[in-house]
Structure 1
Amino acid sequence: MDFHGIDLNLLVAFDALMSERNVTRAAAQVGVSQPAMSAALSRLRNLLGDPLFLRSAEGLLPTPRARELAGPIGQALRQLERTLVAEPRFEPGEAAVTFNLGLSDYPAFVLLPALLAALEREAPGISIGVRAFTDRDAAVDLLDSGEIDAAIGIAPTQMDQRIFTRHILSDEFVTIVSKDNAAARRGMSMKTYLALKHVLVSPEGDRYGLVDQALMQQGLRRTVAVALPHMFAVPDIVARTQATATVLKRIALKSAVSRKLVLFDPPVALAAVELDLIWHRRSDANPAQQWLRGFIAEQAKAL
């Protein structure tokens, strides 16, 4: 096999470009200047006879040939790294470091308190920074920019080889009413459900959600009294009024007013919500990041 003209640095440059989708960020990751990274890309294009990356408004888009090469080259480099470089072990009990997490509302409310309590016991020198996001694909942007080390939320719609995911948590929907509501005594039939006013959680500000989609399939509609961008106030609103809401079960159970609520199965079929741990390929083999992801998964499993 003829390897003339190909050196390891070109493969490293390709891997960084595949990871970052940006010449400047790829250069920073590798530790070279931007012109040097551009020159490496030019050499790769000449050697492989393919443009490899095409410019777009979203950054560099890999060609089919680049996608084909990404897996084998990435695996080969990781294997070389494991063989030649002995990574120091990460000792969480002794570490003094801040990890930055991207969290949607649900894990911030349900998982973050347990995670921080566990860190306080087992790794008191570790602190957490939080970046909020609502659009599931915004997590990818935060990971690409390096603003966060990992994200927890619904898996992105656009998956790519640079983004890894691991399922860590599931929850089901429940319909809640106040204990003082007549529906608490007679049950939650569809007739009762449609007769009540509803509180809707809509980060986008819409007055239409998953429940409305399910009802529409049956030719039915509900009355939405209020639409909120955040879920935290919903249990308290329901506890104080004659309205109802359909929310994730842990939101109702962990609410301060949970004892004032009655929970029912929704009268419409709603799929469970699956949450993933999401991270970037650049951090996949890092011992500290591996420990963080495992620790988060343990706390989620204990919920």
Structure 2
Amino acid sequence: MFKSIESMIDINEHDFHRLDLNLLLVFTALLRERSVTRAARCLYLGQPAISASLGRLRAFAGDDLFVRTAQGMEPTTHALALAERLKPVLEGLSAALFTTSAFDPSSSDRTFSLGMFDIGEVTLGPELLGDMEAEAPRVRLALRPVDRANAVAQLEAGTLDLAITDTGATTQWIRTKPLFQEFFACIFDPKVVRARIPISLKDYLAYPHLLTSFGGEFVGYVDEVLEQRGLARHVTMTTTRFSTLPFVLRRFRGIASLPGTAARELGGALGLAVSPLPVEVPPVDLSLVWHARHETDAGHQWLRELVYRVCMRFAPPEVHKPKSLNRTTGRVQRTRRR
């Protein structure tokens, strides 16, 4: 989990205004080379520049730091004590800025947070756990609810490491990786909804509907498309959770429209009929979304690759094309119909 910067770094920035941090490079070079000439050569500077920097270092430290002898520039006791204290700081700074931390999924015990729609937890969750068990048995994954309205805010706040969503508006610090276009389908219990597959517009409008609405509205994508054609459906119930709909339909004489990948997974598991929508509804462009702070994190890179790989198993076989079902078998077949 990402912690606030205020709780991680406790320094007085004003103390550094008096010191050019590049002077520390001169200090370490002189300490190692014991020669102004050799220090200048390894830093690609002229000898006068090194001498001037040493003068500034002496003024800042209140000590000569290096004394010229027959053997070269010998460090003073104060310089050696200063070097002892600076060594772990400078090495840590170098590692933090210029070394990519290794990540071994087979031994890591990191915890990641992944945001997605609840229906994604139902469909993707088992696949993610299966791959994690094989690759990273000690890694833990916290699945959190997310929607288009709050995904970016959660990523920026650090409460999420990664999200699967249609991004909407982003900021310059947000990174995305396209997954696929998600087309909508509808599901219903064929025992009570007497409609052929693919369902006709007449039958689609004849039955009551269930709707997923994060804000509680009774109008969604489908209703906007129907309104443009002078049509309307009757929405009986709304819920904030996609995963609720299939279970309600087993006891309700109605229809629900939801993302096609989820419709196929849940429809097959619960014995519900799945059909393409009888109206053209714009697809949703799904993406992996994360904050730039994680861009080079080796563990996060592994997580992104894992989630991407699992997501693409659920992608339609033909990108940008929805699927319809065979009228007799109910099996998915490729077609240009929507």
2:146 maps to amino acid: F
Aligned to 2:190: 179
Q: Is the 8 A contact 1:177 1:183 kept in 2?
A: no
Question: What's the counterpart of residue 235 of structure 1?
Answer: 246
Counterparts of 2:203 and 2:157, CA distance in 1: 48
Unaligned runs of 5+ in 1: 1-19, 41-80
Q: Distance in 2 between matches of 1:179 and 1:141?
A: 41
CA distance in 2, matches of 1:25, 1:126: 23
User: What percentage of aligned pairs have identical amino acids?
Assistant: 28
Match of 1:299? 310
Which amino acid in the other structure matches residue 115 of structure 2? Answer: G
**C-alpha distance after superposition, 1:67-115 (max 9, x if no partner):** xxxxxxxxxxxxxx89972323211111111111222223222222211
Distance in 1 (alpha carbons) for counterparts of 2:197 and 2:283: 26
1:151 paired to 2:188: no
Corresponding residue of 1:36:
13
Taking the TM superposition and a 5 Å limit, the aligned residue runs for 1:94-173 are 94-134=107-147, 136-155=148-167, 157-173=168-184
**Which structure's CA Rg is the greater one?**
2
1:171/1:250 contact within 8 Å kept = yes
Per the alignment, residue 75 of structure 2 pairs with none
From 101, 107, 116, the counterpart of 1:88:
101
CA-based RMSD: 2.9
Distance in 2, matches of 1:190 and 1:103, equals 31
TM-aligned CA deviation for residue 199 of structure 1: 1.1
Q: Give distance in 2, aligned partners of 1:103 and 1:187.
A: 29
Q: Is 1:283 matched with 2:260?
A: no
The residue aligned with 2:213 is 202
CA deviations 1:249-291 (Å, max 9, x no partner) are 2222222764532222211111222221111111101111111
SS at structure 1 position matched to 2:310:
helix
- Tell me if the contact between 1:107 and 1:153 (Cα under 8 Å) persists in the aligned partners: no
Structure 1's 90 and 240: CA in aligned 2 closer, same or farther, altered over 3 A?
A: same
Instruction: Report the alpha carbon displacement of residue 225 of structure 1 after superposing the two structures with TM.
Output: 1.6
Checking the alignment, whether the CA contact within 8 Å between 1:198 and 1:243 is kept in structure 2 is yes
Q: Aligned residues, how many?
A: 237
Distance in 1 of aligned mates of 2:221 and 2:154: 26
Q: Which moved more, 1:173-182 or 1:190-199?
A: 173-182
* Gapped regions of structure 2 (runs ≥ 5): 18-93, 315-338
Alpha-carbon distance between aligned partners in 1 of 2:184 and 2:282, rounded to the nearest angstrom: 8
**Distance (Å, rounded) in 1 between the aligned partners of 2:263 and 2:184:** 10
Contact residue 161 and residue 290 of structure 2 kept, 8 A:
yes
Q: What amino acid is aligned across from residue 248 of structure 2 in structure 1?
A: I
- 1:279 aligned counterpart, secondary structure: strand
1:1-59 deviation digits (Å, cap 9, x = unpaired): xxxxxxxxxxxxxxxxxxx9xxx955567x354x639x99xxxxxxxxxxxxxxxxxxx
* Rounded Cα–Cα distance in structure 1 between residues aligned with 2:134 and 2:198: 43
Counterparts in 2 of 1:207-286, with a 5 A limit? Answer: 207-255=218-266, 258=269, 260-286=271-297
Q: Residue 131 of structure 1 aligns to a residue in which SS?
A: strand
Partner of 2:334: none
Secondary structure, counterpart of 2:153 in structure 1 = helix
Deviates more, 1:102-111 or 1:138-147: 102-111
Deviates more, 1:176-185 or 1:125-134: 176-185
Tell me the distance in 2 between the aligned counterparts of 1:149 and 1:99: 6
The one-character-per-residue Cα deviations of 1:151-196 (angstroms, maximum 9, x if unpaired) are 11111x3222211011124322112222223533486222222111
Q: What is the alpha-carbon distance in structure 2 between the residues aligned to residue 254 and residue 187 of structure 1?
A: 17
Q: TM-score of the superposition, structure 2-length normalised?
A: 0.63
Quick one: distance in 2 between partners of 1:287 and 1:265? 40
Q: Measure how far apart 1:215 and its partner are.
A: 0.5
In terms of mean alpha carbon deviation, does 235-244 or 207-216 score higher?
235-244
**TM-score, with normalisation over the residues of structure 1?**
0.70
Corresponding letter in the other structure for 1:103: M
